Amino acid sequence: MSNKEKVLIVIDMQNDFVNGTLGTPEAQSIVKNVVNEIKNKKNEGYKILATQDTHKTDYLNTLEGKNLPIEHCIENTYGWDLVEPIKNEIDSENIFIKYTFGSEELIDYLRENEPEEIEILGLCTDICVISNALMLRALYPDKEIILKEDCCAGVTPELHQDAINVMKSCQIAVK
């Protein structure tokens, strides 16, 4: 990636978060928006990057599993896969597997490649989207980071709005 490259980061648009064990009507409602945003950004020359929440079969024995005792995104299952229309838009080499809320590998990639512009969207606003957005803010204190609000959904509409407000207070540009 050149230092003039623009990136769109798609967070955890996976079956389990859309229509699976942790799916919500709000998550289902943004899929079309996300697909359209990906296509628009591709046409504008953005590089499309994505994260994929990933857990092992021992998930319920992890700290997250004890706090959220609902198996989800178990590696190599249907629920772990990106939602089909989105999966078709993202090159597999641009997907970052992550085992926790924020993706260190994504941050390492961005640190090495220094994008000019960053836009972020996806699921869940109040967990993984905000975690990655704040990691990006720490990495790039003087760079505009844009969150595409109509391409995000939270665990609940209230938690989505809470996360939006926190990101605004941390100078993430919400559009």
Could you give phi then psi for residue 61, rounded to 5 degrees?
-90, -5
pLDDT value at residue 4:
77
> What does the pLDDT read at residue 1?
47
Do 138 and 30 contact (CB within 8 A), yes or no? Answer: no
Q: What are the structural domains, with CATH classification, of the chain?
A: 6-174 (3.40.50.850)
Assess contact for 173 and 147: CB atoms under 8 A.
yes
* Amino acid residing at 123: L
Write down the residue that tokens 């990906």 correspond to: 38
Predicted local distance difference test score (pLDDT) of residue 119: 98
Q: Which of 134, 114, 124 is nearest to 155 (CA)?
A: 124
Are 131 and 99 in contact by the 8 Å Cβ rule? The answer is: no
Contact 145, 22 (CB under 8 A): no
* φ/ψ of residue 17, rounded to 5: -85, -20
Give pLDDT tens digits for 60-106. Answer: 999 999 999 999 999 999 999 999 999 999 999 999 999 999 999 99
Q: d(Cα 122, Cα 139) in Å, to the nearest integer?
A: 20
**Alpha-carbon torsion, ordered 122, 20, 42, 37, to 10 deg:** -60
Amino acid identity of residue 74, one-letter, is: I
Segments in the chain below pLDDT 50: 1-2
- Token pair 């993430």: residue: 172
